[in-house]
Structures are given as C-alpha cells and as structure tokens.
C-alpha cells in the first residue's frame, strides 16, 4: 500500500521534509508512529497527532488511509 505523508510545522523541521511517500505496510497508526520515530529521532521530542484521510485518529486505529498528516500541537482559544 502506498501512502503519502505530509509533515506540518515543527515536524517539517524534525524530518527535514514537507512530504514523502511510503510503501511499507503498517497495521496501526501506532506502528507507523514507531517507525517514523526510529527513522527521524527528533520526532521523539515532539508531541504530535496523526490524521488519516483528514481525520485525527488514535494510535490503536488500523492504518487504512492513503493520506497521512502529522500534526504538531495546536494552540489557540
């Protein structure tokens, strides 16, 4: 399965990329998170959410989306 990952805010700085395509298979979003933290150790220092197909999901959710967004913490009021 091919998926497009997009990195936003400080996650772009941590990975050095705005986006990339992965072809590896992952059962859950948590498995993807673990893979990315190993690939980009700076991500270990950033609290981030993962959205698939424009919906923020939990790490225990099955990975079924083709578009994955890594989102930094939001602030506002």
Chain segment 16-52, per-residue pLDDT in tens = 999 999 999 999 999 999 999 999 999 999 999 999 9
Q: Report how far residue 67's alpha carbon sits from residue 59's, in angstroms, rounded to the nearest whole number.
A: 16
Model confidence at 1, in pLDDT bands (50, 70, 90)? confident
Domains and their CATH numbers in the chain = 3-71 (3.10.20.30)
Does 76 have pLDDT greater than 60?
Answer: no
């Amino acid at each position: 399965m091919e998926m497009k990952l997009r990195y936003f805010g400080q996650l772009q700085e941590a990975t050095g990329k705005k986006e990339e395509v992965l072809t590896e298979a992952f059962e859950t979003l948590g498995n993807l998170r673990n893979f990315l933290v190993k690939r980009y150790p700076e991500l270990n220092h950033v609290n981030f959410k993962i959205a698939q197909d424009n919906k923020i999901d939990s790490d225990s959710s099955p990975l079924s989306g083709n578009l994955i967004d890594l989102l930094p913490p939001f602030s506002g009021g």
